[in-house]
Amino acid sequence: VHRLDRDSSGVLVMGRTQASTLLLHSIFREKTSGATYT
């Protein structure tokens, strides 16, 4: 359920091309992604 009346947090990452989608899949599968908080 997507509610527009509630605050949200987090991020949604999507590849715009097949190559970038495959790269993102690889990064998340190998758990080599990281987070930076500012």
Active-site option among 1, 5, 11, 32: 5
Which segments of 1-38 does DSSP mark as H helices, in order? 18-29
Number of Cβ within a 10 Å radius of residue 8: 9
Say if residues 15 and 4 touch (Cβ distance below 8 Å). Answer: no
Q: What is the pTM of this model?
A: 0.60
d(CA 17, CA 2): 25
Q: Is 5 a catalytic residue?
A: yes
Taking only the tens place, the pLDDT of each residue in 1-38 is 667 777 777 778 899 999 999 999 999 999 998 888 88
Q: Could you tell me which residues come within 8 angstroms of residue 14 by beta carbon, excluding any fewer than 6 positions away?
A: 21, 24
